[in-house]
Amino acid sequence: MKELYGKALLDDPACTKSTAFTREERKQYGLRGLLPYDVANISKQKERALENMRRKSSAIEKYIFLNALLDRNQRLFYRTMIDHMDEIMPLVYTPTVGEACKEFAHIFRRPQGLYITPEDRGDIESVLGNWPERDVRVVVVTDGERVLGLGDLGANGMGISIGKTALYVACAGIHPAHCMPVMLDVGTNNQSLREDPLYLGYPYARLQGDAYLSMVDEFVEAVQNQFPNILIQFEDFLSPNAFNFLDRYGDKVCCFNDDIQGTAAVTLAGVYASCRITQKKFSDLTVMFLGTGSAAGGTAELMAAAFHAAGLNMQQARKRLWFIDRKGLVVSTNENIKPRIKPFAHEHLPCSFVDAIADIKPDVLIGATGVPGTFTEPVVRQMAAVNERPVIIALSNPTSHTECTAEEAYRWSDGRVIFASGSPFEPVQYRDKHFAPGQGNNAYIFPGLGLGVTACSARRITQAMFLAAAETLSRHVTDQEIAKGSVYPSLNRVREVSRSIAVAVCQAVRRDGLACEKLPENLDEYIQSLMYDPLY
């Protein structure tokens, strides 16, 4: 505990126990008279917090309450979230975080995270030196240009970095002091934000070109100088920038992009698990993507690697993966195909989305468009026509932007679909069957990956780590969950999943000779010992 006393101790969110300070502690730390009589342990405090949260009438009000709780009492916030993960994660992160980002400047209470603007160029390392913690191991950084499916939200995108760092702590037990949310506030091209008198960000058009790239370069170098062995998570960057940063830094810096690689791994895990329902062999599958952005492109690249690992050569692996864009099937004769999509543009006559499903007969359909309603009734019915148990994964967030709802997917497939989505949906009763659709939440992947990487101080992030994470996650889906049509485990078991993923990542790091730290033989016990457990 920090050397704090009296009111300063009560007001420090990392150290306070509030009403849980014992009689002896109240004497020792000068707290007598500053607290009501009752010594309320963390369980009683948690019940009080839950009661107050549940009184709020909307998700955004609950978000504001929880954010304020984090500001007041860090351990109580995380204890409450961990013990009620399925209820609180949708409030702390998707889908509520989308609304919170849109309203960020209007619901702002206290500063969280670190902001870097173009005015800090040439002095970014000094700005990083203002961060109060010195043992930072994970940084989540965004420039707010492509927040979920909501577009350019400028400095309001800080809500994403704050939310993701909270998930590192709650889902994988990385200590709060080891996590830092960062906003590269390079401006915004969202005119309505710049004209909002309450907007808190850099109120100019976005920095672009060489000036933008040099600022990111400076940040990446500076954050490594300030915090050796740092893991950098890039979040919600525009697709060309997202892929560019992976190409630019991936071989030299311990970094990854969650929208590309985290989404890819959680989607692959869902496809692996779906094979337990369809009884199909993974290496026999054909997969079709709607959308050609970073999430779809990254998922296709990881799936190609998974097919290759399953025994196919890379040409055969890529042939199992097809893309649909606004014009229909992406084929080799198309013009202006994105470079990352080109390997998946095969020889075929141009055709519509529905006709492509009828002809190619994909086993799995994955949507990553950010456009609601793009999995129409004809699309879902055609998938059901070519598959006894069609697999449909609608990844787009938030819920208002998903390609179709769970209820639509079950109804249009006559209850035969295996459905998962990026945002949560309530269970669906269709005819005499009860379905519990799985949520392909990246929180199943990136926190455990981060725990493993920081546990061994890995020098790089590799594709092998994401393949290991996907396979590990798929093994955590129980037979009971499979029976309900879910291809993901309960969120309440996410810390167990994260621990297993961290072990698998450490094994991959050790196998590839990328560890800076010598790892003990009993990795599971070692990882468990590192996990932060918020108690007094």
Q: Are residues 289 and 217 in the same domain?
A: no
Output the CA torsion sign for 95, 98, 99, 104: positive
Q: Are residues 395 and 305 in the same domain?
A: yes
Cα 489 to Cα 476: distance, rounded to the nearest angstrom = 6
Instruction: Average the pLDDT over 332-351 and give the result.
Output: 95
Q: Are residues 241 and 351 in the same domain?
A: no
Q: Are residues 161 and 296 in the same domain?
A: no
Domain residue limits at 202: 109-253
Domain membership of residue 295 (yes or no) is yes
Find the range with the poorest average confidence among 71-75, 468-472, 481-485: 481-485
Q: Are residues 219 and 126 in the same domain?
A: yes
* pLDDT, tens digit, 9 for 90 and up, residues 47-86: 999 999 999 999 999 999 999 999 999 999 999 999 999 9
pLDDT at 2: 60
pLDDT at 315: 97
Residue after which a domain boundary falls, among 233, 253, 273? 253
The helix (run of H) or strand (run of E) holding residue 242 is helix 239-249
Q: Are residues 168 and 219 in the same domain?
A: yes
Q: How confident is the model at residue 516 (pLDDT cuts 50, 70, 90)?
A: confident
* pLDDT, tens digit, 9 for 90 and up, residues 15-28: 999 999 999 999 99
Instruction: Average the pLDDT over 348-360 and give the result.
Output: 97
Output the CA torsion sign for 317, 444, 164, 62: positive
pLDDT at 44: 98
Domain membership of residue 219 (yes or no) is yes
Q: At what angle do helices 59-72 and 85-92 cross, to 10 degrees?
A: 100
Cα 322 to Cα 360: distance, rounded to the nearest angstrom = 9
Domain membership of residue 488 (yes or no) is no
Taking the model in full, what pTM does it have?
A: 0.95
Contacts of 221 (CB under 8 A, 6+ apart): 125
Residue % of the chain over a pLDDT of 90: 94
* pLDDT, tens digit, 9 for 90 and up, residues 374-385: 999 999 999 999
If one counts the domains in the chain, the total is 2
Q: Are residues 338 and 238 in the same domain?
A: no
Give the Å distances, CA to CA, from 201 to 206, 298, 360, 471. 11, 30, 47, 41
The helix (run of H) or strand (run of E) holding residue 215 is helix 209-226
Domain membership of residue 97 (yes or no) is no
Instruction: Average the pLDDT over 92-105 and give the result.
Output: 94
Domain membership of residue 222 (yes or no) is yes
pLDDT at 149: 80
Domain membership of residue 365 (yes or no) is yes
* Amino acid symbol at 446: F
Q: Are residues 362 and 413 in the same domain?
A: yes
Q: How confident is the model at residue 113 (pLDDT cuts 50, 70, 90)?
A: very high
Q: Are residues 326 and 364 in the same domain?
A: yes
Q: Among the options 29, 63, 78, 93, which is catalytic?
A: 93
- pLDDT above 60 (res 164): yes
Instruction: Average the pLDDT over 517-527 and give the result.
Output: 91
Q: Are residues 181 and 141 in the same domain?
A: yes
Q: Are residues 309 and 235 in the same domain?
A: no
Q: Residue 200 maps to which CATH number?
A: 3.40.50.10380
Q: How confident is the model at residue 347 (pLDDT cuts 50, 70, 90)?
A: very high
Q: Is 488 marked active-site? A: no
pLDDT at 128: 98
Q: Is 164 marked active-site? A: yes
Domain membership of residue 454 (yes or no) is no
> Encoding tokens for residue 258?
């969650």
Query: Residues 391, 363: contact at Cβ < 8 Å?
Result: yes
* Amino acid symbol at 173: G
Backbone angles phi, psi at 406, to 5 degrees: -60, -45
Domain membership of residue 20 (yes or no) is no
Q: Are residues 284 and 247 in the same domain?
A: no
Residue after which a domain boundary falls, among 253, 280, 311? 253
Instruction: Average the pLDDT over 461-477 and give the result.
Output: 98
Residue after which a domain boundary falls, among 253, 278, 306? 253
* Mean pLDDT (the chain, rounded): 96
Instruction: Average the pLDDT over 148-174 and give the result.
Output: 96
Q: How confident is the model at residue 148 (pLDDT cuts 50, 70, 90)?
A: confident
Contacts of 179 (CB under 8 A, 6+ apart): 136, 137, 138, 139, 140, 165, 168, 169
Q: Residue 404 maps to which CATH number?
A: 3.40.50.720
